[in-house]
Chain A
Amino acid sequence: MENFEILYKNLLDFSWQQGVMIAIGCLLVYLAIVKEMEPSLLLPMGFGAILVNIPFSDALVGPIQTLYNAGIANELFPLLLFIGIGAMIDFGPLLTNPKLMLFGAAAQFGIFFTLCMASMFFPDFRDFFSIAIIGAADGPTSIAVANKLGSQYVGAITVAAYSYMALVPVIQPPVIKLLTTKKERMIRMPYEQKSVSKRTRILFPIIITIVVSAIIPQATALIGFLMFGNLIRECGVLNSLSDTAQNVLANLITIFLGISVAFNMTAEKFLQVDTLVIMGLGLVAFIVDTAGGVLFAKLLNLFLKKKINPMIGAAGISAFPMSGRIVHKMALKEDPQNFLLMHSIGVNVSGQIASVIAGGIILNIAANLMGG
Chain B
Amino acid sequence: MTMLTEAAVNLEFNPMAFVDNLKYMGIGMLVIFVIIGVIILTTKIVSALPTKE
Contacts and interface: CB of A to CB of B under 8 A. Distances in A.
A and B form one complex? yes
Contacts of B10: 272, 274
B39 A211 contact: yes
Interface of A is mostly: helix
Interface in B4-53: 4, 7-8, 10-15, 17-18, 20-22, 24-25, 27-29, 31-36, 38-40, 42-44, 46-47, 49, 51, 53
A211 B51 CA distance: 23
Contact of B39 (A101, A109, A113, A216): A101
B45 to A, nearest CB: 9
Interface string A92-121: 000100110110110011011101110111
Given A121-B11, A122-B11, A112 B24 contact: yes
Given A112-B28, A123-B14, A216-B31, A102 B4 contact: no
B32 A196 contact: no
A326 interface: no
Interface residues of B, number: 37
Given A102-B33, A104-B36, A215-B31, A277 B11 contact: yes
A361 B25 CA distance: 11
Contacts of B32: 105, 108, 354, 357-358, 361
Contacts, number: 125
Most A CB atoms within 10 A — which of B43, B49, B51? B43
Interface string A260-280: 000000011001111001000
Given A215-B31, A277-B11, A207 B42 contact: yes
A101 B25 contact: no
A211 B25 contact: no
A362 B28 contact: yes
Contact of B47 (A116, A197, A215, A277): A197
A300 to B, nearest CB: 13
Contact of A199 (B14, B28, B36, B51): B51
Contact of A354 (B7, B14, B36): B36
A36 to B, nearest CB: 32
A45 to B, nearest CB: 21
B11 A274 contact: yes
Contact of A115 (B15, B25, B31): B25
A217 to B, nearest CB: 13
A161 interface: no
Interface string A120-133: 11110000100000
Given A108-B32, A123-B14, A273-B4, A98 B21 contact: no
B11 to A, nearest CB: 5
A367 to B, nearest CB: 13
A101 B21 contact: no
5 residue pairs, one from A and one from B, having the closest CB atoms: A272-B7, A112-B25, A119-B17, A105-B36, A112-B28
